[in-house]
A and B are shown apart, each in its own frame.
Chain A
């Protein structure tokens, strides 16, 4: 048997490695340096990181002590990782829709990568009590009322649907 903690370390390294590779390639795209393949690598690595992310989330939940979310760090980790995943999915869809890998596109990809790295930093603070990111909120969670979240959720879906329809048109 392998403990959930060990599997979490493995899957997390997979996610972070993929996202870092992607972020580096997006940086090269933004700077206009490096070989042409950097665009493909940036997006495929982003996709790889996204595929590995659910494994990291599930093993992380299983490895966390206690039942449920009993620490502000875990709550911030959840919110940040879901935002990063949303951004990364958006970047991939945007590319699929024919967007050029310009500064805006590369910037969005890098923000997504940065958010994932921030999430990993929170994990370090939670598991080991230390992180390079000394500024991360340790006791504060920006939690919206449910009705605000519902509005944002509907808004997001409407924007998503509208964009899809426009693309088909």
Chain B
């Protein structure tokens, strides 16, 4: 354990990241707000928004982070926020809906790996604007560690204001309740059906890694995106045409990921309980043996036979007690033993007379 501790560097940052989540800056501030354990990031953070944002419709917000020197794990986290208060500062608090984030989720805090050779890293969100034309402030903060594993770093963009406009009544648009797919598995094509309003026809196109757009064949308001070979993101958009003004949607992002790891949970739980009972059984099987029990209660050395001092009547083991009893000739001894003052030799010769005169001839 000591070796493991010594082999690991100590850092106030969390190189493994915190994971994507819907968080207020209170979270980032609690981890990276202590000036004793965090520093200002040398990176440059900018928020880029669309020129024209329609109320209730989709728009894209990009956060570009440059000149980051992250930890060895290369993780960089970015918050998309609406104020600097540290609380009630997510886009949702201003009526915005996060349709998708850079990882295909719906979070305002996202972590991405900063490529080694890259000069910048872009975090893209697709948002649905509030239903009313209310101007909104947006800013982003970046969080990362450092190569030497020291303090955590925090940087912040300038705050920009987005003006949200009421769209023309007959603007060709996607239906208010339509939601784009966000993720798919590698190797599968994706067919997308658009639900629209005030649209007579539309075309669609896709691009990969910001490359040139490729047109898609549209049939019955649907089109199919090609399957992904590797994990990554494909972007698509539609040009909507109708009686009113035309509209080109934002680039929607579709993230392709490896199929989720799956396990037969029945087999897993079965094995878990099997191991539980097996280990209980095996441990109890190692219970103290009878021999050990006997040792605990063995008092053989305390029995009279082992007592070298005890009277021979109880089996004393001393030499004096183990000598064979000497037999004597003559009459048997009376119940009280040899009469007082008599010797054994006298008893052999005159004992019978003693018995005849005192006990009527002998002992019973």
Contacts and interface: CB of A to CB of B under 8 A. Distances in A.
Contact of B270 (A65, A68, A153): A153
B288 A100 contact: yes
Contact of A128 (B16, B267, B278, B286): B16
Contacts, number: 149
A86 B278 contact: yes
A90 B272 contact: no
A152 B261 contact: no
Q: How large is the interface on A (under 10, 10 to 19, 20 to 34, 35 or more residues)?
A: 35 or more
B293 A79 contact: no
A83 B279 contact: yes
Contact of B275 (A70, A86, A97, A158): A86
Interface in A112-169: 125, 128-130, 132-133, 141, 143-146, 149-150, 152-153, 155-160, 163-164, 166-167
Chain A residues touching B, majority SS: helix
Contacts of A7: none
A62 interface: no
Given A93-B284, A152-B275, A78 B268 contact: yes
A159 B282 contact: yes
Q: How large is the interface on B (under 10, 10 to 19, 20 to 34, 35 or more residues)?
A: 35 or more
A2 to B, nearest CB: 15
A90 B16 contact: no
Nearest to A100: B288
A143 B267 contact: yes
B260 interface: yes
A82 B282 contact: no
Contacts of A97: 284, 287-288
Contacts of A130: 14-16
Contacts of A156: 274, 276-282
Interface in A75-104: 75, 78-79, 82-83, 85-87, 89-91, 93-94, 97-100, 104
Contacts of B288: 97-100
Given A79-B275, A89-B280, A129-B73, 18 more contacts: A68-B265, A70-B261, A75-B263, A83-B275, A85-B276, A86-B279, A89-B279, A89-B283, A90-B284, A91-B283, A93-B280, A104-B286, A130-B15, A130-B16, A144-B271, A150-B270, A153-B270, A156-B274
